[in-house]
Amino acid sequence: MQCAYFDSARCRSCTLMGEPYAAQLRAKQDRCARALAGSVASTAWLPPVASAEAHFRNKAKLVVGGRPGAVTIGILDATGGGVDLRECGLYEAGLGEMLPLRADFVDDVRLEPYDVASRRGEIKHLIVTHSPDDELMVRFVARSRKHETLLRKHLPALQREIPSVAVVSMNIQPEHKAVLEGDLELVLTDRELLPMDVGGVTLQLRPNSFFQTNTAVAAALYRQARDWLGAVSPRSVWDLYCGVGGFALHCATAGSPPPDEVLGVELAPDGIESARVAAASLAALGQVTGNLRFEVGDATTLVHRGLEVPDAVVVNPPRRGIGTDLAGWLDSSPVRHVVYSSCNVDSLARDLAAMPRLRPVGARLFDMFPQTTHHEVMVLLQRWSA
């Protein structure tokens, strides 16, 4: 893929830009296989799942910069000045086409971009998600609620101009530090959920929930987990770090018979709320027969609550991995299968080394993030000694 922003050095975020995609994929596969060589046999690897090279991101996270009348959406340069990247080629078509209109909206209604150097202004980021049904969720991250009335007033105009805008919210991030968003989310539209059809399962997304950014590759990831677990038909499954429930909702229909019990656990209450809505819809359609539950909780302490131990566990932690405590519990528990999906092969390697009684019998790279060295790798572990 070629990118004019990269070639002119305006943006160097995609460090592999310009390298042939086949070579990128080979290098990522080699890197992951090398990092996991101590645990994962070369024969366990399935062929990597490739992505589209361009127009694969369902989400744009853009820094709002410049000044009223000349707003930029993109990144900041070394001096804190706004660099406009509204034509970035990574975004899905339905997302990229709408970015100029949203940038114009910021200008038209006179929202003040936040200026990092002077610590003045209001709007810090614009975060936009595009669904497979061609709907949009738009979030304005602001320093304070100062522009709330203005945004509410102009909301009907925004929705008239861009009818695909289904959910709009304002996130308040008052601190002067490099944090994308804050804790307070004000939903400005009647709708607060964006349905995301991922591989035939409709997940529900709230503004501040985590969601995989490459919908097509996420569908392959969830499908693989469902196939791996379906082949061993666990009676009960836990999905730890479940977010909006992607793995749990897919695994609830895995195997014959499918599991009787599926429990998803996640720290963020909004993720759990979204997962419950999606689960209720699946149940209403008769697609889930077992007991599918979601709970707010800490994955690392849940295992010490004395609950009945499941047959299989899915873990999909943040970059730091699951850590020695949870890894040690899984290793010494009677859990027979673990599916571990990771965005950091180094923490995955550490965690696998802490689970010697669980042997990797399958592994696969899912290229969620072409043009960068980021990766998602998933392994299937099977207990081989008590």
Of 169, 202, 300, 344, which lies in the binding site for ligand SAM, with binding defined by CB under 6 A? 300
Query: Which positions from 225 to 244 touch ligand SAM by CB under 6 A, shown as an x/- string?
Result: ----------------xxxx
191-218 burial, b for 16+ CB within 10 Å, e for fewer?
ebbbbbebbebbbbbbbbbbbbbbbbbb
Q: Is 358 helix (H, G, I), strand (E, B) or coil?
A: strand
Residues with Cβ within 8 Å of 138's Cβ and at least 6 positions away in sequence, in order, are 102, 126, 127, 128, 158, 165, 167, 168, 169
Q: Nearer Cβ to ligand SAM, position 135 or 266?
A: 266
Member of 27, 318, 332, 356 binding ligand SAM (CB under 6 A):
318
Nearest residue (CB) to ligand SAM, 72 versus 208: 208
Shortest Cβ distance from residue 41 to ligand SAM (Å)?
26
Shortest distance, CB of residue 317 to ligand SAM, whole angstroms?
6
Residue type for 13, please?
S
Count of alpha carbons within 13 angstroms of residue 240, beta-carbon side: 23
**Residues 268-297 within binding reach of ligand SAM (CB under 6 A):** 268, 271
For the bound state, the minimum distance from the C-beta of residue 225 to ligand SAM, rounded and expressed in Å, comes to 9
Q: How far is the CB of 192 from ligand SAM (least distance, A)?
A: 18
Six-digit token string for 229: 């677990």
The answer to whether the beta carbons of residues 336 and 311 sit under 8 Å apart is yes
**3 state DSSP class of 151:** helix
Helix (H), strand (E) at residue 337 = strand 337-342
Cis-peptide, bond into residue 100, ω within 30° of zero: no
| 316 part of the interface to ligand SAM, by CB under 6 A | yes
Residue with tokens 């405590």: 325
| Catalytically active residues, by annotation | 343
Site membership for ligand SAM, residue 344 (CB under 6 A): no
Using the rule CB under 6 A, is 181 a contact of ligand SAM?
A: no
366 forms part of the interface with ligand SAM (CB under 6 A): no
Q: Which stretch binds ligand SAM (CB under 6 A): 83-91, 180-188, 209-217, 225-233?
A: 209-217
Please pick, from the candidates 108, 134, 185, 298, the single residue that binds ligand SAM as defined by CB under 6 A. Answer: 298
Interacting residues with ligand SAM (CB under 6 A): 210-212, 241-244, 246-247, 265-268, 271, 298-300, 316-318
